[in-house]
Amino acid sequence: MFDTGTTGFMLISTSLVMLMTPALAFFYGGLACKRNILGIMMQTFLSLGITTILWFIIGYSLCFSGGEGGIIGNFDKIFLNGVTMDSVFSGNGMIPEIVFVSYQMMFAIITPALITGAFVNRVTFKAYVIFLVLWQIFVYYPFVHMVWGGGLLATLGVLDFAGGIVVHATAGFAALASVFYVGSRMDTKSNPNSIPLVAIGTALLWFGWFGFNAGSELNLDGITTLAFINTDISASFAAITWLIIEWKKEGKPKFVGLLTGSVAGLATITPAAGYVSMPVAAIMGIFAGIGCYSAVHIKNRFGWDDALDVWGVHGMGGVIGTILLGVFASTAINPAGADGLIYGGTTFFMIQFAAVAGTSVYAFVFTYMMLKMIDTITPVKVSEEHECLGLDWAIHGENAYDHDFS
């Protein structure tokens, strides 16, 4: 009944995407200062637990049950009702529905975790737990349904191969809103505590991203292999582009810049991985390096304390990738896609632009309003005393290193 090869591939892809969340914890943990390593890593790991519970109870149902052409699904599959070992995923008829449930759950886990890098060392743990739940229900789930669950944006012709809109634009602009709400850190000049840890995180993210993008074809075919190699091409071109720009501007080739550039390239190719050619993936990687580096420079110039550049890398990467998909997509590459602007697809380009712009605005506005609401329940921002002490010890009573950092 099931295609064993495709099922096996999707189980591996699911495992790779799961690995990306601990990888993100390493990446953020290395970039944070020594007093806040465990706090940021715990926020990331927490999503593995809470998001899985939420996905099991209502997440999958709200994303992929009913609501055709609408904004959100229904409650037909709460507690995974009707999902059995014999249930077939209707999207391709080749894999168990349980595999699709698991694969999409891993996307749900990492998306809110991306946001945490923006407000490192500033948000209380209790407020974050509430944020983690509400943001998924009112931001992530609606956009999953609208884009991937047969909802409104899908019926309008919006394409997003693996999450430029659904994952990166929503998380990136939610991150920017959170920065505006909680304000700047007391010490905005802190350096990464462990660049080798950042490198390990980047390596695992890059590795996991093959499952993220190639797995999103939900099949084993030529598009799967195209998405796989496009992922690597874009990341590589973006990494070297970022390195060259930073080297020219600052006089030295920076390892953190190389690593950050690769993540920018990964985020940018995500919406287009299975819809564009390999040369276009290279072009998108160059655009990612230039565009995301410029976004981080703009952020620094305006004093927006997005500590780990979530908006500049993920948010703007998702936006750039979605817009470039509207330019370069080709049905000659993927008949299930569309023709972009350079092939006469003006309408498709405008749809992509409007979709990512609307998504970004909604994610920003709702996140800001939600934080205000959470603040009426429990304080969102930590006290100055806790910020000075570091959240590892002040909130969690633990230290990453057995040293006194006072």
Q: For residue range 47-63, what is the model confidence (pLDDT) as tens digits?
A: 999 999 999 999 999 99
**pLDDT single digits (tens) 152-178:** 999 999 999 999 999 999 999 999 999
* Banded pLDDT at 188 (limits 50, 70, 90): confident
Q: What is the 3-state secondary structure (H, E, C) of the chain?
A: CCCHHHHHHHHHHHHHHHHHHHHHHHHHHHHCCHHHHHHHHHHHHHHHHHHHHHHHHHHHHHHHCCCCCCCCCCCCCHHHCCCCCCCECCCCCCCEHHHHHHHHHHHHHHHHHHHCCCCCCCECHHHHHHHHHHHHHHHHHHHHHHHHCCCHHHHCCCCCCCCHHHHHHHHHHHHHHHHHHHCCCCCCCCCCCCHHHHHHHHHHHHHHHHHHHHHHHCCCCHHHHHHHHHHHHHHHHHHHHHHHHHHHHHCCCCHHHHHHHHHHHHHHHHHHCCCCCHHHHHHHHHHHHHHHHHHHHHHHHHCCCCCCCHHHHHHHHHHHHHHHHHHHCCCCCCCCCCCCHHHCCHHHHHHHHHHHHHHHHHHHHHHHHHHHHHHHHCCCECCHHHHHHCHHHHCCCCCCCCCCCC
pLDDT band at 403 (very low <50, low <70, confident <90, very high): low
pLDDT band at residue 186, thresholds of 50, 70 and 90? confident
Mean pLDDT computed over 31-54: 96
- According to the model, what pLDDT value does residue 406 have? 44
The rounded mean pLDDT for the chain is 96
Q: Answer whether residue 348 shows pLDDT above 50.
A: yes
Q: How confident is the model at residue 405 (pLDDT cuts 50, 70, 90)?
A: very low
Top CATH class, 4-184+194-390: mainly alpha
pLDDT > 50? residue 281: yes
Q: Give percent of the chain above pLDDT 90.
A: 95
Segment among 78-92, 198-212, 391-405 with least mean pLDDT: 391-405
